[in-house]
Amino acid sequence: MTPKERNGIRAAFERASEGPPAERYVLRLYVTGMTARSARAVKNLQAICDEYLHGRYDLEVIDIYQQPVLLKGEQIIAAPTLVKKLPLPMRRIIGDMSNRERVLLGLDLVRSSDRAGGDSRSQ
């Protein structure tokens, strides 16, 4: 991500934070053991949450090998998968959470129109 894109995302976040009190986020990250990809997803997501959702998120990391019963009804087709339960709408993000812009869009922390360049087309 270029510095210009980062500044655009940060500016959008600052505009959003000036509004009414933000909602609490309930997140579940489904991983497959402590593989390098799973560890990277946890680390990347914690960094994003600490920066953008400080003090207003609950993150549960679920190892699907250790707790397979928690997969029931979740429609998890790949891991790591992040499920944003609240605030609605519910969203799923698959991958190691290294694409910050995609994660921020998926968490509804920025709108596609807030991205650098103002391109609001979906990808």
Tokens of 48: 């994003």
CATH number at residue 33: 3.40.30.10
> What is the pLDDT at residue 42?
97
DSSP classification of residue 23: P
Regions of the chain short of the pLDDT cut 50? 19-20, 118-123
> What is the pLDDT at residue 1?
67
Whether 107 and 9 have beta carbons less than 8 Å apart is answered as no
Whether 120 and 105 have beta carbons less than 8 Å apart is answered as no
Percentage of the chain beyond pLDDT 90 is 64
**Residue 123, domain member (yes or no):** no
The number of domains in the chain is: 1
Question: Could you report how far apart the first and last alpha carbons of the chain are, in Å?
Answer: 16
**Residue 88, domain member (yes or no):** yes
> What is the pLDDT at residue 123?
34
Q: What is the pTM of this model?
A: 0.74
Range of the domain at 68: 23-112
